[in-house]
Amino acid sequence: MPWISRGLRNGIVTSTYPRKSDGYGPNFRGTVEANRSRAAIEIKAVIEACPTRAVSARDGTLALDRGKCILCGRCVEMAPEVFAFSPSFAVSARHRRSLVVPPTEEDDGSLTILREELAHRVKRLRRSVHVRHVDAGSDGSDEWEIAALTNPIYDVQRLGIFFTASPRHADLLLVTGVGSLGMIRPLQHTLEVIPRPSVVIAAGVDAISGGMLEESYASSGGVGSLVGVDVFVPGSPATPFGLLHGILMAIDLLPLSTSDSDDGPGVSQGTRRGRHSNE
């Protein structure tokens, strides 16, 4: 059979993330980084060039909201001394304001409380997690990335993460899409029937802020106003590694960082132990 020889030839292709570092390579446009440089450019022109108003001015410097950024690259072209593409996918955040770069001084006390509350809520979910995905008005790109999580490369089942068709069997609600008005009640009903404790992840720029549509006659400008979101996974669409990072953050299996979003694929002691006795 040809698949046997192909398997022997290719070897193991499954990623070892998060046990070991992995990613998409140095040229991958995973996210946009920003520094605090006061660029000698027309700030207003850079702001107006952004199609989703993700770029703003703050204290005379430019800032970027990853929750709105669709990675078009206009800001990178116009202000390369401030913005640059980064291959990092580990940009999920527990708080909406943590998606704005460069980061501002955060209230460490409130972020600590937020982390501790989520960690306590998901304490019993770290061995096996069932995910219910709801499309609340996506363009379909996010769904392709979510489907990739179950292929041999990412194989989320190895980490005890499973997708379920029934919200009554779910621990985690993964939401994509702009929050179309026709999906408001179905989305809220899904969350109502998920057993407690439950966790909500907004995946992709559309789910976080509405993306290109923002708030309109047909959409809610993201799902944050419809359901309480615990973890935000930026991207247009969010990558499989980014989604996996967000899920692991949601169930508290990533180390805490000072910025509430992890810039590296490190793992906590809980993840190093593995989900299965043979790991």
3-state secondary structure of 208: helix
State whether the Cα torsion 262-62-107-70 is positive or negative: negative
83-86 and 31-34 strand pairing: antiparallel
Higher pLDDT, 208 or 36: 208
pLDDT tens readout for residues 82-94:
999 999 999 999 9
Which pLDDT value is given to residue 260? 44
Q: Is the peptide bond before 186 cis (omega within 30 degrees of 0)?
A: no
pLDDT above 90 (res 28)? yes
* Secondary structure (3-state) at 259: coil
Q: What class has domain 96-273?
A: alpha beta
Query: What's the pLDDT tens digit per position in 33-56?
Result: 999 887 667 889 999 999 999 999
Domain residue spans of the chain: 96-273
Specify the pLDDT at position 150.
95
Is the confidence at residue 266, as pLDDT, over 90?
Answer: no
pLDDT at site 274: 38
Cα distances (angstroms) measured from residue 266 to each of 21, 28, 149, 230, 256 = 7, 19, 19, 20, 10
